[in-house]
């Protein structure tokens, strides 16, 4: 998905010192050549003057992108000291020699740790107890030497604990090569499997591996079986997803009993399963796919649990014997509720843990499998994020969960489901002077034009005077049913400590308020996402948090679409906009099924080959709706190797904005020539991008320290 979420006036007298710096004079912005390209469908012809930018290897394209980077550097040069200061602040709050809380799996305790100065993690484990000798699985710092980008994912240990499979991406295109390591000897096997998702699954024979490969559009479309020690060229194709609106994946049940192949589109899923002890067997379909039916499965003893939206928009929980999975011969365990979204489950020998969402907040519900008694975990704050994590052991009464909020750093707990006692194992340390009591978190509701109440979560440093003059960063995403969570980010302190309010608009298109919330912000209701954001902005102004000279809109990927649409619809509301890897050329992209991810997203945006969707998408597509008007100051970012939103979408958008906008406000375009959708791969390197974004906003309101 084009997901990616990016988290990133008047000065409070006595706190800041103004440092006047002049922006460079007579620096000319790049002017892209106009090469008209006609596109006709539904008797409508569009002229795209910048269509030529979609050729990644074209020297003219690269020259233009380099010119944009050069212009950005010159126009932001006066903020370089501020950027370095911000970067130093942000990185300085991070404990360099840090370690995750170990979790137990199959007699080993697994964790990752960072060493001082290291950009990448060290993955390690200890056998039996935490006092045992450390065994390093992978030292990514050593592996990444000589690479501009390096990412490892999908670490997967065989059931006999002796073999490790893992994926490596060195291009930032999210195409991983799978490698294998003998953990007893440290030997890396010769065979490599390219063009995968990075993940893999071991059968219980400790030699058979299942993995997923991608097609030319980066759609995961085939599952293969590999026998360790053989040539990957001879691997057997197990499953081919022919429907180009679906992708596929493979995983293992928590019970280690079944290998499971999943197929998914935006609105439909299907599963196949195979006994993990019998890798030569045939996969069986769990329940055939149907339009608008999404479900997931989890194995428990002699049955499967099913989280399903079959006749249940907000999902319900069902169960069925492993011998009778098809034809909806299922028994209801938890009924559908209009006001509660059922998000997922964790299974233990004696307990069933249910993750729910009510009134926009996550809830953890614990059900005793023996007597059906139940209770919820209780949390004190009005806005928070609580979620289950790293629960790999089946025969235990301990539930591992994490808790965070806009003022509380990420905290890991073990909760005894029998005694109802919780133990805090770790809270992420914020290095330096930090006290969560110095900050205030609040939850508000803006009223949309149609009367809908839209939640806003916000945080600021105590002492803030609500006189309409504070700078505000308003962030949102609003697509794919992805809920924007209220988690802590120590990097935000660099804004909060300079008088900013950080606010999240929980607009429709996410799933914060249930499945209905998502469906009211997609397809032919997509504009609700944009108008909700505008209503939230107006609410913050009306409630005297800020004014239009101090309000910034920030969004990334599909959130970049949001702020791009808002820039056309209500530019007067904002001082500045940060659009990170923005999905802004909606119609052209969704008409081109050769572009990665297009076909699988027709259920999200609509298929513009149908006129009703074409007309509606054309009415809000940011690129198509740029007009001659004043726009806020804008910082746009992308990566040349972006696999989710192709670099040429923001490149074309910036070129058209330069052509048509009638203001003198700053417009800069930052292109990472070595990276993709997620930016830099290093632990600290990515904060340079955040420092640039913060410096851009601070500079716009005159804060240069």
**Alpha-carbon distance values, 197 to 141, 176, 276, 600 (Å):** 22, 6, 21, 16
Note whether 503 and 565 are same-domain residues. yes
User: What is the predicted pLDDT for the residue at 350?
Assistant: 93
The predicted model gives 86-96 an average pLDDT of 94
User: What is the predicted pLDDT for the residue at 217?
Assistant: 83
Give the integer Cα–Cα distance in Å for 426 and 123: 18
Note whether 536 and 604 are same-domain residues. yes
Note whether 633 and 535 are same-domain residues. yes
The predicted model gives 9-25 an average pLDDT of 39
- Listed in sequence order, the residues at least 6 apart from 682 whose beta carbon sits closer than 8 Å to its beta carbon are 119, 120
Note whether 117 and 195 are same-domain residues. no
pTM above 0.85, yes or no: yes
Asked if residue 515 is part of any domain, the answer here is yes
Asked if residue 6 is part of any domain, the answer here is no
User: What is the predicted pLDDT for the residue at 45?
Assistant: 97
User: What is the predicted pLDDT for the residue at 16?
Assistant: 32
Q: Choose among 72, 88, 57, 63: nearest CA to 684.
A: 88
CATH number of the domain residue 512 falls in: 3.40.50.1820
Domain boundary among 430, 447, 465: 430
- Confidence bin at 173 (pLDDT 50/70/90): confident
Q: How many domains does the chain have?
A: 4
User: What is the predicted pLDDT for the residue at 2?
Assistant: 36
Asked if residue 5 is part of any domain, the answer here is no
pLDDT in tens, 221-241: 999 999 999 999 999 999 999
Neighbours of 123 (CB within 10 A): 20
Give the integer Cα–Cα distance in Å for 201 and 208: 8
Asked if residue 328 is part of any domain, the answer here is no
Note whether 497 and 614 are same-domain residues. yes
- pLDDT above 80 for 7: no
Asked if residue 530 is part of any domain, the answer here is yes
Note whether 87 and 116 are same-domain residues. no
The 3-state DSSP composition of the chain as helix, strand, coil percent (nearest 5) reads 20, 35, 45
Note whether 116 and 68 are same-domain residues. no
pLDDT in tens, 660-674: 999 999 999 999 887
pLDDT in tens, 369-379: 999 999 999 99
Note whether 421 and 488 are same-domain residues. no
- What does residue 613 show for φ and ψ, rounded to 5 degrees? -75, -40
- pLDDT above 70 for 195: yes
pLDDT in tens, 246-286: 999 999 998 999 999 999 998 899 999 999 999 999 999 99
Note whether 85 and 111 are same-domain residues. no
Note whether 180 and 216 are same-domain residues. yes
User: What is the predicted pLDDT for the residue at 681?
Assistant: 55
- pLDDT above 90 for 23: no
CATH number of the domain residue 171 falls in: 2.130.10.120
The predicted model gives 83-92 an average pLDDT of 96
Instruction: State both tokens at 661.
Output: 């906008």
Domain boundary among 260, 293, 326: 293
- pLDDT above 70 for 478: yes
- Confidence bin at 425 (pLDDT 50/70/90): very high
Residues carrying an active site annotation: 557, 642, 677
Q: Are 165 and 176 in contact (CB under 8 A)?
A: no
Q: Domain range for residue 235? A: 147-293
Domain boundary among 293, 312, 332: 293
Handedness of CA 559, 359, 419, 423 (dihedral sign): positive
- Confidence bin at 632 (pLDDT 50/70/90): very high
User: What is the predicted pLDDT for the residue at 394?
Assistant: 87
Percent of the chain at pLDDT above 90?
A: 83
Asked if residue 20 is part of any domain, the answer here is no
pLDDT in tens, 43-84: 999 999 999 999 988 999 999 999 999 999 999 999 999 999
Asked if residue 613 is part of any domain, the answer here is yes
Note whether 470 and 577 are same-domain residues. yes
Asked if residue 19 is part of any domain, the answer here is no
């Amino acid at each position: 998905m084009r997901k990616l979420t990016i988290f990133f006036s008047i000065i409070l007298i006595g706190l800041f010192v103004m440092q006047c710096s002049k922006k460079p004079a007579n620096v000319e912005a790049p002017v892209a050549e106009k090469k008209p390209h006609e596109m006709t469908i539904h008797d409508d012809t569009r002229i795209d003057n910048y269509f030529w930018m979609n050729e990644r290897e074209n020297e003219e394209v690269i020259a233009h992108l380099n010119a944009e980077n050069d212009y950005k550097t010159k126009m932001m040069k006066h903020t370089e000291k501020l950027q370095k200061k911000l970067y130093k602040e942000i990185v300085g709050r991070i404990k360099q020699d840090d370690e995750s809380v170990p979790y137990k799996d199959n007699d080993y305790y697994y964790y990752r740790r960072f060493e001082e100065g290291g950009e990448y993690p060290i993955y390690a484990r200890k056998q039996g107890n935490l006092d045992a000798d450390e065994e390093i699985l992978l030292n990514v710092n050593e592996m990444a030497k000589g690479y501009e980008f390096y990412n490892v994912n999908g670490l997967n240990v065989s059931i006999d604990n002796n073999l490790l499979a893992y994926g490596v991406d060195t291009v930032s295109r999210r195409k991983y090569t799978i490698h294998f390591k003998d953990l007893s000897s440290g030997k890396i096997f010769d065979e490599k499997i390219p063009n995968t998702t990075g993940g893999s699954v071991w059968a219980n024979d400790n030699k058979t591996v299942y993995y997923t490969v991608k097609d030319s559009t980066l759609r995961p479309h085939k599952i293969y079986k590999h026998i360790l020690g053989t040539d990957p060229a001879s691997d057997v194709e197990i499953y081919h997803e022919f429907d180009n609106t679906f992708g596929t994946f493979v995983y293992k049940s928590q019970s280690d009993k079944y290998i499971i192949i999943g197929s998914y589109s935006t609105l439909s899923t299907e599963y196949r399963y195979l006994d993990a002890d019998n890798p030569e067997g045939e996969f069986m379909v769990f329940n055939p796919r149907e339009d608008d039916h999404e479900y997931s499965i989890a194995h428990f003893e002699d049955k499967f649990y099913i989280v399903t939206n079959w006749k249940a928009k907000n999902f319900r929980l069902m169960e069925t014997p492993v011998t009778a999975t098809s034809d909806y011969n299922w028994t209801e365990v938890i009924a559908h509720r209009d006001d509660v979204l059922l998000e997922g489950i964790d299974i233990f020998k004696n307990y069933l843990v249910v993750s729910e969402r009510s009134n926009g907040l996550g809830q953890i519900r614990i059900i005793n499998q023996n007597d059906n008694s139940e209770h919820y975990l209780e949390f004190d704050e009005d806005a928070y994020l609580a979620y289950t994590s790293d629960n790999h052991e089946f025969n235990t009464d301990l539930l591992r969960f994490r808790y965070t909020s806009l003022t509380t750093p990420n905290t890991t707990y073990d909760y005894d489901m029998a005694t109802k006692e919780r133990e805090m194992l770790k809270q992420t340390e914020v290095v330096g002077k930090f006290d969560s009591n110095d900050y205030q978190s609040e939850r508000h509701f803006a009223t949309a034009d149609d009367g809908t109440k839209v939640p806003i979560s916000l945080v600021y440093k105590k002492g803030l005077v609500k006189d309409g003059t504070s700078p505000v960063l308003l962030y949102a995403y609003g697509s794919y049913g992805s809920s924007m969570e209220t988690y802590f980010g120590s990097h935000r302190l660099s804004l909060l400590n300079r008088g900013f309010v950080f606010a999240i608009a929980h607009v429709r298109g996410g799933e914060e308020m249930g499945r209905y919330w998502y469906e009211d912000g997609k397809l032919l209701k997509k504009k609700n996402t944009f108008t909700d954001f505008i209503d939230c902005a107006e609410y913050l102004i009306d409630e005297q948090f800020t004014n239009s000279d101090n309000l910034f809109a920030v969004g990334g990927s599909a959130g970049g679409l949001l702020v791009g649409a808002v820039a056309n619809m209500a530019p007067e509301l904002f001082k500045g906009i940060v659009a990170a890897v923005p999905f802004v050329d909606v119609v052209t992209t969704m008409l081109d099924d050769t572009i990665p991810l297009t076909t699988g997203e027709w259920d999200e945006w609509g298929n513009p080959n149908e006129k009703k969707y074409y007309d509606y998408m054309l009415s809000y597509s940011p690129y198509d709706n740029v007009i001659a008007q004043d726009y806020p100051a804008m910082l746009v970012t992308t990566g040349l190797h972006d696999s989710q939103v192709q670099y040429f979408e923001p490149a074309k958008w910036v070129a058209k904005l330069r052509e048509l906008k009638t203001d003198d406000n700053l417009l800069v375009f930052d292109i990472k020539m070595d990276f993709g959708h997620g930016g830099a791969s290093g632990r600290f390197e990515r904060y340079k991008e955040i420092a640039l974004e913060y410096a851009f906003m601070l500079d716009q309101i005159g804060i240069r320290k």
